[in-house]
Amino acid sequence: MTKNKATLIGVGAILLWSAVVGLIRGVSENLGATGGAAAIYSVASVFLLLSVGLKRLASFPRRYLVWGSILFVAYELCFSLSIGYANNSRQAIEASMVNYLWPSLTMLAAIVVNKHRASWLIMPGLALAIFGICRVLGGDEGLNLESMLFNVQDNPLSYGLAFAGALIWAAYCTITARIAKGANGITLFFILTALVLWIKYLIGGGGQMNLDTHALLYLVLAGAAMGFGYAAWNIGILHGHVTILAGASYFVPVLSAVLSALILSTTLPLSFWQGAAMVCAGSILCWISTRRKKNSHRGNLDF
């Protein structure tokens, strides 16, 4: 496989992930927040078993197996349930945007925990991403503190889960980079996520699941987007142009909002798009800050 072809496959993963928010919301509206998420991760696990396969547990470093499982499952629960628990489609998209603080937080964690070096651009980058989220949460009022607080208080669980997910994923990326030793437990992690969600669904009393043709279509598409997305990303990272893929991945918030708005037939105000653009710009600044230092201090970073 050529480098360019692998890169295109990696870009395909970015497009698939960008559609996930809208698809998860579409499933949850029919199967419920927990039941829908459990079904999605079950389908995604099947796709991953077919495309990536499942390695023996003994082949994984023990620390990676334990911490990777805990952090990955915790993140996926926060991410999927923050979308499922949203009161409406627009709120689901806003919650997903809060979750997209993770690129900036990951860069910050890499600097603090892994002692990676970065230029002064890390601070304005992080600030810009946070202000972007504030603008998104301000609703039609834009960057308005009172409006933002009112919006968050309308559904603190959804927004809180999204923010917790951003923190957890930043921790996952930072910790597993040090302990994975080249291992990839994505299939196992998805299976564990599905199991935890089904347990939550059963303990919580279940609930009615309306699995009609529309819901089934969304379920298959969501599972495929998640499963094949991770498989395609793995190919791109291993065999493609990593720098191109890393840069392109920071545009996921805007791409995700566009596709989610189309899938869910939701109109978003100008203030939302301005905030989403700020989140992207902030993430890119954080990324540039580390790349510049990598060029000046070769070997200090491994992104």
Q: In the prediction, which pLDDT does 10 show?
A: 86
Per-residue model confidence (pLDDT) at position 298: 32
What pLDDT shows up at residue 142? 64
pLDDT (0 to 100) of residue 214: 86
Low-confidence ranges of the chain (pLDDT < 50): 293-303
- For residue 222, what pLDDT is reported? 94
Q: What is the pLDDT of residue 205?
A: 72
Q: What is the pTM of this model?
A: 0.87
Three-state SS across the chain?
Answer: CCHHHHHHHHHHHHHHHHHHHHHHHHHHHHHCHHHHHHHHHHHHHHHHHHHCCCCCHHHCCHHHHHHHHHHHHHHHHHHHHHHHCCCCHHHHHHHHHHHCCHHHHHHHHHHHCCCCCCCCCHHHHHHHHHHHHHHHHCHHHCCCHHHHHHHHHHCHHHHHHHHHHHHHHHHHHHHHHHHCCCCCCHHHHHHHHHHHHHHHHHHCCCCCCCCCHHHHHHHHHHHHHHHHHHHHHHHHHHHCCHHHHHHHHCCHHHHHHHHHHHHCCCCCCHHHHHHHHHHHHHHHHHHHHHHHHHHHCCCCCCC
The pLDDT value given to residue 81: 96
What pLDDT sits at residue 67? Answer: 94
